[in-house]
Amino acid sequence: MPATIDEIVETFALLEEWEDRYRYVIEVGKDAPPLPEADKSEDNRVRGCASQVWLRTDIRPGPDGRTTLFFQGESDAHIVQGLVAIIVAFYSGLTPEEIMARDVRELFSRIGLSEHLTPQRSNGVRSMVDRIRRDAAEAAG
């Protein structure tokens, strides 16, 4: 079962060495459910990522009847797959308004991940967040 965002943050707090955090990011990615092959389409491909990244968005009514978005993603690169899994955990299950109010880059700074991302990976993270926010804006109407 994939880790929740709270579990990910707690684990990062326990890991002091960057190499251990790096391995953990890869582990989080390995634990994420694979994206069905049918969802690895051009429509789901995230542009702006150096690696291949696909992101599927499911829009459902939440328990309170409000629109809720759920995400599933995959990448062909191990570290990027971990970043995708963290981003998915951070944004899934939220309303469009909650998604627009959150920024995963703040989380990455807080857990010390952003300082270890290459500019290329930072651009990929930005592309994924832009895509999630665009889907949230469309879902909000």
For 89, other C-beta atoms within 10 Å of its C-beta total 22
Residues of the chain with pLDDT under 70: 1
What is the rounded distance in angstroms from the CA atom of residue 32 to the CA atom of residue 12?
A: 17
DSSP-assigned beta bridge partners for residue 71: 57
Q: Which residues are catalytic?
A: 49
Residue 62's pLDDT is: 75
Termini Cα distance of the chain: 32
SS3 per-residue string spanning 43-81: CCECCCCCCCEEEEEEEEECCCCCEEEEEEEEECCHHHH
Q: Which domain holds residue 48?
A: 5-140
CB environment 47-71: b (16+ within 10 A), e (fewer): eebebebbbbbeeeeeeeeebbbeb
CATH number at residue 59: 3.90.1010.10
> If you count them, how many residues does the chain have?
141
Residue 52's pLDDT is: 95
| Count of domains observed in the chain | 1
Q: What is the value of pTM for the model shown?
A: 0.94
| Sign of the CA dihedral running 66, 110, 131, 38 | negative
